[in-house]
Every structure is written in C-alpha cells, then in structure tokens.
C-alpha cells in the first residue's frame, strides 16, 4: 500500500504532467486556428482547378503528356503524410493502419515517399523501401515542402521507378473528426462517367492559346502540386486538431487523478493522526493502571 509520501510524490508528478498537457493543448489550439484557415482558403482554389480540368477534358481528347501516361502497373509509390512527432492522439495510428490495409490489398511492389517521419519509420522497419523523406516543420506544411514532394513524385513516375503514385493523407472535417484516405495521384486519370457528364453539360468549345500541348505542360504539373499541397494542409489541420483533442483529454484525466490522489492522501493523513491519538490515549491509560 502506498505511503503518504509516495502519494504526495504522485500528486506532484500529475500536476507537472497536467501543466505540460495544458500548454500543449493551448499551442495546438492556436496552430489549429491558423491551419484551419489555410485549409478553408485553399479549398476553393483546389476545387476550381479540378472543375477546370474536368471542363478541359470534356472539350475533347487531351494530347499526350508524361503525367497522363497509362502503363501496366507493376510498381507503386505511396506518398504517406504523417506527423513528425507523436502525442497527437490516434492521428498517426489511423493513417498507418489505413496505409497498411491498403498495402496488404495490393499485389504490386510497393515503395514509399514519406512526409513526416512517423509513418516512414514505421514502414521502413517492416521492409517497405522509403525512397525519399521530407521533413515538415512543426508549425505546418509550407508551399516549398509541397513543391519538393511534387518534384520527387514526378521524377519517380516519369523515370519509370513507379508505374503509379498514390497519396495517403487525413482529410480534415473538424477537430474531432479526421478521415484517412488513399487517392491516385499519377497518372492523372480522365474524369469518371458521372463527372464527365456533369462537366460536359456546361461545356463550351475552347480555342487554345497557346496550343493544347503547351497548355497541358503548364496546367498538369500545377494540378498535381495543388492536390499535394491541399493534402498537406488538410493533414496539418488534422494533426493539430487531433493533438488538441488528445491534450484536452489528458489534462482532464490528470485533474481527475490529482483529485483522487488528494482525497486518498487526506484519508491516509487522517488515518495516521487517528492512529497517533489512539497510541497516546493507550499510553496514558497504561500509565494510570
């Protein structure tokens, strides 16, 4: 049974942990606000870029481009976006589990491009080749990080190191809801029948200036960059939201632990005082007799 000294030591430890988790919660909350604003500001551009691509696709057959090249898929590279550090609740675990389930469902040779070290370290220990690693600042992803990832992904695909590039990231909905998902990045696929029909309903005849090949040479790399940057922004907001929620729970649990330990310490102290009083009374009675 724990002594009063040990209980008081546990109370001090819990208070120290509570201070740390409260500070982390406040930092995550401040960063979440900025990350959420960046996500909401970037989404209209990303959606408009996709709508424009659908509209261009509906205008006619696209000229050939390296990013559109369809070939037999034997090797796949997965871009996995996780956090640089832990203490973010189930954020990293959910992403790693989703990527792991997806890898198990594939029969092709899989390699990985890691954004954030948590995911790449996990899979590197399990035999997945990590061809490149991008370190993301704690405050969140920057445009230059997305540019680096895009350049490496294009290099891997265009050189033939991989026949397809997939992207695994966490889509942000709210601080308590983030959904990991895997999407195909390269080759860029034409729109589905439903998307193409919806787009062609309002499609117009286009006159390309400059020629379509030159236009695609500028447009498709920007399209890929937009998808990657949007995914990195979504992941940053998801990480901060998950960390804020986890640190809030940790702070509350530490408070409950302190309360229970304080009650236990008071009982132990009262029991010690009662025992001493009984010893004094017993000694006095012994002297009388």
CATH number for position 175: 3.40.1380.10
* 15 part of a folded domain: no
pLDDT of the residue at 89: 87
Of 64 and 196, the one with more pLDDT: 64
The pTM of the full predicted model, rounded to 2 decimals, is 0.82
Length of the chain: 289
Whether 179 is in a domain gets the answer yes
Q: Is residue 130 part of a domain?
A: yes
Q: What is the pLDDT of residues 21-44, one digit of tens each?
A: 999 999 999 999 999 999 988 888
Angstrom distance (rounded) from CA 19 to CA 67: 50
Report how many domains make up the chain.
1
- Give me the percent of the chain exceeding a pLDDT of 70: 90
Structural domain range at position 61: 27-244
In a domain, 99, yes or no: yes
Q: Which of these, 84, 87, 93, 98, lies nearest to 180 by C-alpha position?
A: 98
In a domain, 74, yes or no: yes
d(CA 228, CA 145): 10
In a domain, 200, yes or no: yes
| Number of Cβ within a 10 Å radius of residue 28 | 24
Which range among 92-106, 163-177, 179-193, 198-212 shows the weakest confidence by mean pLDDT?
198-212
**Confidence at residue 196, expressed as pLDDT on a 0 to 100 scale:** 47
Q: Is 260 helix (H, G, I), strand (E, B) or coil?
A: helix
CB 21 within 8 A of CB 247: yes
Asked, for residue 72, whether it belongs to a domain, the answer is yes
Domain assignment present for residue 165? The answer is yes
């Amino acid at each position: 049974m724990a002594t009063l000294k040990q209980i008081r030591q546990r109370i001090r430890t819990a208070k120290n942990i509570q201070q740390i988790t409260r500070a982390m919660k406040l930092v995550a909350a401040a960063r979440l606000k900025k990350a959420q604003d960046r996500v909401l500001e970037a989404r209209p551009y990303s959606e408009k870029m996709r709508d424009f691509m659908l509209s261009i696709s509906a205008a006619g057959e696209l000229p050939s481009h390296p990013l559109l090249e369809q070939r037999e898929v034997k090797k796949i590279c997965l871009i996995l976006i996780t956090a640089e550090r832990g203490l973010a609740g189930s954020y990293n675990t959910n992403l790693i589990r989703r990527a792991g389930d997806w890898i198990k469902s594939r029969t092709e040779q899989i390699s990985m491009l890691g954004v954030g070290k948590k995911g790449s370290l996990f899979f590197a220990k399990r035999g997945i080749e990590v061809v490149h690693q991008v370190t993301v600042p704690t405050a969140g992803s920057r445009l230059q990080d997305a540019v680096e990832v895009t350049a490496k992904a294009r290099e891997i695909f265009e050189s033939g190191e991989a026949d397809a590039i997939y992207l695994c990231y966490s889509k942000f909905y709210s601080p308590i809801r983030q959904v990991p998902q895997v999407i195909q990045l390269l080759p860029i696929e034409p729109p589905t029948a439903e998307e193409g029909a919806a787009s062609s309903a309002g499609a117009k005849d286009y006159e390309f200036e400059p020629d379509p090949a030159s236009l695609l040479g500028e447009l498709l790399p920007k399209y890929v960059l937009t998808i990657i940057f949007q995914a990195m922004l979504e992941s940053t907001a998801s990480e901060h939201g998950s960390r804020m929620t986890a640190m809030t729970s940790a702070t509350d649990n530490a408070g409950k632990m302190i309360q229970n330990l304080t009650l236990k310490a008071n009982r132990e102290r009262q029991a010690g005082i009662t025992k001493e009083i009984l010893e004094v009374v017993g000694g006095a009675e012994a002297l009388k007799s």
